[in-house]
């Protein structure tokens, strides 16, 4: 049934989420079935920020424009990108499905100049002008073989870094490459020798963030539950010392200027908050929220006063199994 409306890469994601996260039975327990009319009830900390139009959206990525606070959400099912302006209760289609040959839209970021970066897990990343919706640049992974371009982070100097969940590398796009408009997406860091061995077919690297000063990157291994630090000056790769918990099933990351790291753990319907040391070598768990109304949270975007969380519903007729989804929405969490 998935092949009728979802790209073939969803079948890869199904394997990754069941092997790399939790068994299907546990996933079902973590995300109880909801009625088709509405999301499961929450404890009050979680509300709905806005709705995404469409019956089979299966959203994955989210980004907030720092200039005007518009929010962009990507559909993993068909590559549609939605936009919700401040105050809107229903998002609008910003980039239709299949625009520029895009199959998926998972990792999203808006840089300081208002350019929207959209990863396509099957090929690479495209960059759009948010005023004209014109594609400014496009970069595709070089070579053959399996790949899954997942999430991205942008450092203060405008360089973008992207994770590949299959190849266990981090790609880089520099400002000079962006100005050129297109090219090959090449690895900048290979983490394969640093990751904890995982079951065959499972994903490893997923969410990635940069510290506000652009000194280092943090990339999560969703299967092992580890957080890896990449020093952008020396290239050294190390494991962050986690205190009080781990990052198993971690998907999206958000790092605030005050050192607060927020994490979405997908199949367990959990959000965690961590205090990161100034040098990024240690992180201490400070808060956990587990709630079925999160509906398999994949990514999140924090702005002062609220955290927006993608409710993917991947377990309701999407890549994680059969079922009927509710309306697709973005959650607002006091977190």
Question: Cα-flanking dihedrals φ and ψ of residue 243, to 5°?
Answer: -115, 125
Could you tell me how far CA 310 lies from the centroid of its own chain?
9
Which residues of the chain are under the pLDDT cut of 50? 1-12, 14-37
| CA proximity to 184, closest of 232, 142, 218 | 142
**CA atoms within a 13 Å half-sphere pointing along the CA-CB vector of 93:** 12
For position 12, what pLDDT does the model report?
Answer: 44
For position 27, what pLDDT does the model report?
Answer: 33
Instruction: Name the 3-class secondary structure at 153.
Output: strand
CA distance 253 to 250: 8
CA distance 34 to 250: 23
For position 144, what pLDDT does the model report?
Answer: 85
For position 201, what pLDDT does the model report?
Answer: 75
List the alpha helices (DSSP H) in the chain: 9-19, 24-30, 175-180
The answer to whether the CB of 234 falls within 8 A of the CB of 240 is no
The answer to whether the CB of 134 falls within 8 A of the CB of 146 is no
| 84, β-bridge pairs | 71
For position 200, what pLDDT does the model report?
Answer: 78
This prediction's pTM: 0.89
CA distance 301 to 253: 8
């Amino acid at each position: 049934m998935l092949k009728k409306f979802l790209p073939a890469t969803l079948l890869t994601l199904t394997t990754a989420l069941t092997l790399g996260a939790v068994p299907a039975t546990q996933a079902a327990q973590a995300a109880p079935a909801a009625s088709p009319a509405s999301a499961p009830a929450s404890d009050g900390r979680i509300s709905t920020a806005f709705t995404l139009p469409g019956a089979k959206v299966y959203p994955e990525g989210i980004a907030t424009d720092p200039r005007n606070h518009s929010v962009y959400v990507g559909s993993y099912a068909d590559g549609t990108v939605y936009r919700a302006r401040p105050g809107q209760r229903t998002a609008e289609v910003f980039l239709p499905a299949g625009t520029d040959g895009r199959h998926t839209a998972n990792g999203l970021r808006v840089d300081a100049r208002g350019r929207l970066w959209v990863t396509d897990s099957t090929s690479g990343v495209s960059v759009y002008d948010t005023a004209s919706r014109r594609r400014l640049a496009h970069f595709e992974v070089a070579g053959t073989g399996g790949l899954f371009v997942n999430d991205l982070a942008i450092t203060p100097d405008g360089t973008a870094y992207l994770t590949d969940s299959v190849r266990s590398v981090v790609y880089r796009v520099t400002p000079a490459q962006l100005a050129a408009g297109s090219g090959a997406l090449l690895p900048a860091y290979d983490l394969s020798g640093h990751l904890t061995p995982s079951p065959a077919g499972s994903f490893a690297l997923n969410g990635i963030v940069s510290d506000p000063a652009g000194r280092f990157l943090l990339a999560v291994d969703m299967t092992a539950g580890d957080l890896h630090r990449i020093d952008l000056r020396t290239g050294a790769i190390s494991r962050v010392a986690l205190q009080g918990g781990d990052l198993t099933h971690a998907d999206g990351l958000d790092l605030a200027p005050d050192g607060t790291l927020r994490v979405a753990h997908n199949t367990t319907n959990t959000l965690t908050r961590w205090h990161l040391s100034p040098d990024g070598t240690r992180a201490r768990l400070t808060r956990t929220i587990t709630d079925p109304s999160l509906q398999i949270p994949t990514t999140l975007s924090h702005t002062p006063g609220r955290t927006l969380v993608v409710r993917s519903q991947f377990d309701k007729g999407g890549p994680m199994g059969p079922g009927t989804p509710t309306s697709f929405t973005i959650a607002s969490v006091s977190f």
